[in-house]
Chain A
Amino acid sequence: MIYTQSPLAIGLFVFFVLFVLGLSFYLARRTSSAEGYYAAGGNIHWMTNGIAFAGDYLSAASFLGICGMIATSGYDGWMYSIGYLAGWVVALFLVAEPMKRLGKFTFTDALDSKFNSKSIQLMAAISTLLVSVFYLIPQMVGAGVLVQPLMGLPHWVGVCIVGVVVTLIVATAGMASTTYVQFFKGAMLLIVSTTLVIMVLFRGLSTTPENDGKPYHDFTTLRADSALTLEDPTFNVIAGLDSVYGQEGFVKLERNGQESIWKLEQTADGYLLEETLHATRFNDGTRSYNGAPAEEGEFFPVGHIKELRLNGEEVTATGPIGPFKFLSTLTDSTIVLWGKKYIKEADGITTIYYQKPTPGSQILRPGLRFKVDNATPMEKFNFMSLMLALFCGTAALPHILIRYYTVPSQAAARKSTIVAIAGIGFFYLLTLFMGMGAMTSGVINLLDNNMSAPLLALSFGVFLFAIISSLAFATVLGTVSGLIVASSGAIAHDLLDNFLGLKMTDRVKVRAGKISAIVVGAIAIYLGIVFEGMNVSFLVGWAFAVAASANLPAILMLLFWSKTTARGVAASITVGLFSSLGLILLSPDMWIRYGKLPENAPIQFNSPALISIPLAFLALVVVSMLTQKDVNIGHAPEAAKN
């Protein structure tokens, strides 16, 4: 798709970036101690920290990925919202207060608080680094996605801008600047998303959605007899029933030198031909979109309702509508979704996007992305495994856990988690309306659904688009900052200071953290470029699986099982980390990244949590039982101690 850049959008974007940088440099003057750099001095108010939690958590995955997935897959995208929020229950009820009680700067501190074990320090630091890097990838991909429509710059430039700006933020003021950037961003995200949803509801639903005053594409249907002779003689058939297209249920036509692909539907007296969109990647690396170069803008945005039913009657528009009526009207209506088919020819591969009218009641239930109806045991396993990873992942994410060290007390840790649940829960309700709004407003870019929420805003005019896009970019900046603080803490505090025992002064510790931040930032930039094009929420699902497998069993058993030993904790992290990573690397989705067919992957599921989490628990129990005689006398679980 071709986007038009507006000076307003660019101006707002530059303003956000300068504001964030200015804040960081201002706070940097007050950040000279290690406590200040890694834990913002431990004096952040719980309300501020709660909103900052929301800012940390509502990353590019939530804002861009979930909305994009709902826009193309309906309820299955919202499943991520439900799972992500449920994870906060684990954080609040089990982890928040003990984490505050036990740790100082990093997640490793809490795990190692009772043991002073080198193996825990090493493994927990490696786990923090790997989980943070996994989580960084989708954020950087999201940044690249945003700069194209916002600034007219290629993907890699967006990734580099984020990398450089964030590294500057973190290298100046660490957790203090990260917290205030997150607070600002979290609050703004909630306000602007609420505004967007109100505007969607006020506009209502329509079978011919307007996009910022521009009419929706008028889809054409052609008729042909059984010999594929078209009623409209201006079209010529160039790839008919016996071609590779015909074998897949399509035909290729030509009119005035313009090629088009149509989906065939057999009728009693011949065929109905329905318009499709298509993108071709030629062997020489060039691409065409709907038969023309990208600059000609032939690849148009899609998303519309085929039959709109309000109160049992078919209408063309609803006018302003309430939130529950919005959902119930969609349930009763038929919405056009888009299927995808690949056709391989001698000169390249063509991806065809064809219309799939689907009842709203099927879109607003699981099943379009996750195979749950008549699913094989492996498909059921994959779904349960993903939902387990989302549930267990939140309370194991290092950049979330370190936020508990920024507040002054355990009660403040608890209250800030509740503020986070309120803010994040409300936002996830909004994602349903933003996603379904995008699905029916003619704004979806089929080549990249990550942009659905900003493009929905664009349908109301460039001003809202500019604000939403700039904010989404700030979202990426904030989350990446938190991740880089967590990573730099793992390197400088856990590895250099604790594991290697380098005696560093406070000032040297801060400098080591800043240098680590720059190194991690460079790695994040590289990965953000390599993983271009993957749905960001999907990638975050993997980060959750790795975090849940490597960290959560160790945290929970340390708190609730008195026989846990240092070696048991280290073994649990090792097994959880490498089993989850190994299963991901062997998964069908990674097989596609290697350029191979997914069905040839050694395992046939994508989410490893249902195997790797129990394995990590098992490793902890077995190793702890075998090492009861180790020098760990004096440790007792939190529950037993109090």
Chain B
Amino acid sequence: MGHGPAVKLGKDDAAGFKTKLGVIMFLCYTAFYAFFVLLNVFAPSTMENVILGQTAAIVWGFFLIFLALVMAVIYNHFCTQAEKRHNV
């Protein structure tokens, strides 16, 4: 059978921590995304409200895109620290 990584990987003792952190951060982002979708479905007129010159829809779009990047950087920071801590 041809399974297993194409290159040999070292043991990763931080994998458990990273998995748990990933699940928590995934749930956080999903909550924001789901709220955005539900807002569009059940209260679409709120998306036309103007906040600081922009429609709420535009503000939400920018927020979700930047949130993904910020959470990704935070996730990487803690994962890298955990790898240093556990994989000595």
Pick from A365, A373, A387: contact of B56, CB under 8 Å: A365
Q: Is A432 an interface residue (CB 8 A)?
A: yes
Inside 8 A of A497's CB, which chain B residues have their CB?
Answer: 2
- Give the total number of A-B pairs whose CB atoms are below 8 A apart: 182
Q: Is A130 an interface residue (CB 8 A)?
A: no
Q: Is B88 an interface residue (CB 8 A)?
A: no
Min Cβ gap A375→B in Å is 8
A638 lies within 8 A of B19 (CB): yes
From known contacts A366-B44, A372-B41, A411-B79, infer whether A493 and B29 are also in contact, taking CB-CB under 8 Å. no
Segment 15-65 of B: residues with Cβ below 8 Å from A? 15-16, 18-20, 22-23, 25-26, 29-30, 33, 36-37, 40-42, 44-45, 47-48, 50, 53-58, 61-62, 64-65
Centre residue among B10, B19, B25, B47 by max chain A CB count within 10 A = B19
From known contacts A42-B6, A361-B48, A417-B72, infer whether A116 and B1 are also in contact, taking CB-CB under 8 Å. yes
Inside 8 A of B10's CB, which chain A residues have their CB?
Answer: 409
Min Cβ gap B47→A in Å is 4
Interface size on B (CB < 8 Å)? 54
Q: Which residue from chain B places its CB closest to the CB of A89 in the assembled complex?
A: B29
Inside 8 A of A320's CB, which chain B residues have their CB?
Answer: none
B16 lies within 8 A of A82 (CB): no
A331 lies within 8 A of B61 (CB): no
Q: Is A422 an interface residue (CB 8 A)?
A: yes
Segment 62-119 of A: residues with Cβ below 8 Å from B? 75, 78, 81-82, 85-86, 88-90, 92-94, 97-98, 100-105, 109, 112-113, 116
Complex interface bits, A404-441 against B, C-beta within 8 A gives 1, otherwise 0: 01001111001101100110010011001000000000
Question: What interface size band does chain A fall in?
Answer: 35 or more
A642 lies within 8 A of B5 (CB): no
From known contacts A86-B29, A90-B26, A362-B48, infer whether A421 and B72 are also in contact, taking CB-CB under 8 Å. yes
Cα(A88)–Cα(B19), bound, Å = 16
Min Cβ gap B20→A in Å is 7
Inside 8 A of A641's CB, which chain B residues have their CB?
Answer: 16
Inside 8 A of B30's CB, which chain A residues have their CB?
Answer: 89, 391
Min Cβ gap A286→B in Å is 43
Cα(A417)–Cα(B79), bound, Å = 13
Inside 8 A of B73's CB, which chain A residues have their CB?
Answer: 418
Pick from B3, B36, B65, B80: contact of A104, CB under 8 Å: B3
A103 lies within 8 A of B3 (CB): yes
Q: Which residue from chain A places its CB closest to the CB of B4 in the assembled complex?
A: A104
Inside 8 A of B75's CB, which chain A residues have their CB?
Answer: 92-93, 414, 418
A104 lies within 8 A of B76 (CB): no
A104 lies within 8 A of B2 (CB): yes
Cα(A90)–Cα(B65), bound, Å = 14
Segment 162-185 of A: residues with Cβ below 8 Å from B? none
B6 lies within 8 A of A35 (CB): yes
Segment 482-533 of A: residues with Cβ below 8 Å from B? 493, 497-498
A94 lies within 8 A of B5 (CB): no
Q: Which residue from chain B places its CB closest to the CB of A374 in the assembled complex?
A: B44
Q: Is A153 an interface residue (CB 8 A)?
A: no
A421 lies within 8 A of B3 (CB): no
From known contacts A93-B23, A365-B57, A425-B65, infer whether A104 and B41 are also in contact, taking CB-CB under 8 Å. no
A88 lies within 8 A of B33 (CB): no
Inside 8 A of A414's CB, which chain B residues have their CB?
Answer: 75-76, 79
Q: Which residue from chain A places its CB closest to the CB of B57 in the assembled complex?
A: A365
From known contacts A328-B54, A365-B56, infer whether A89 and B71 are also in contact, taking CB-CB under 8 Å. yes
B44 lies within 8 A of A365 (CB): yes
Min Cβ gap B33→A in Å is 5
Min Cβ gap B51→A in Å is 10
Inside 8 A of B29's CB, which chain A residues have their CB?
Answer: 86, 89, 93
Inside 8 A of A409's CB, which chain B residues have their CB?
Answer: 9-10
Q: Is A380 an interface residue (CB 8 A)?
A: yes
Cα(A81)–Cα(B10), bound, Å = 37
Q: Is A592 an interface residue (CB 8 A)?
A: no
Cα(A328)–Cα(B58), bound, Å = 10
From known contacts A365-B47, A373-B45, A639-B19, infer whether A331 and B65 are also in contact, taking CB-CB under 8 Å. no
From known contacts A384-B37, A384-B41, infer whether A113 and B4 are also in contact, taking CB-CB under 8 Å. yes
Inside 8 A of B61's CB, which chain A residues have their CB?
Answer: 75, 78, 81-82, 432
Q: Is A327 an interface residue (CB 8 A)?
A: yes
Min Cβ gap B7→A in Å is 4
Inside 8 A of A122's CB, which chain B residues have their CB?
Answer: none
Cα(A116)–Cα(B12), bound, Å = 23
Cα(A90)–Cα(B2), bound, Å = 27
A42 lies within 8 A of B5 (CB): yes
B19 lies within 8 A of A331 (CB): no
From known contacts A94-B22, A327-B54, A410-B12, infer whether A100 and B5 are also in contact, taking CB-CB under 8 Å. yes
Q: A102-B5, A498-B2, A642-B19 are in contact. List 9 more A-B contacts (CB 8 A).
A: A81-B61, A82-B36, A86-B64, A89-B25, A97-B18, A104-B2, A639-B20, A642-B12, A642-B13
Query: 7 closest A-B pairs (Cβ-Cβ)?
Result: A642-B16, A328-B53, A42-B7, A93-B22, A93-B26, A642-B15, A39-B6
12 residue pairs from A and B, CB less than 8 Å apart = A90-B26, A93-B23, A94-B22, A97-B18, A101-B5, A104-B4, A113-B3, A331-B55, A364-B54, A365-B55, A373-B44, A414-B79
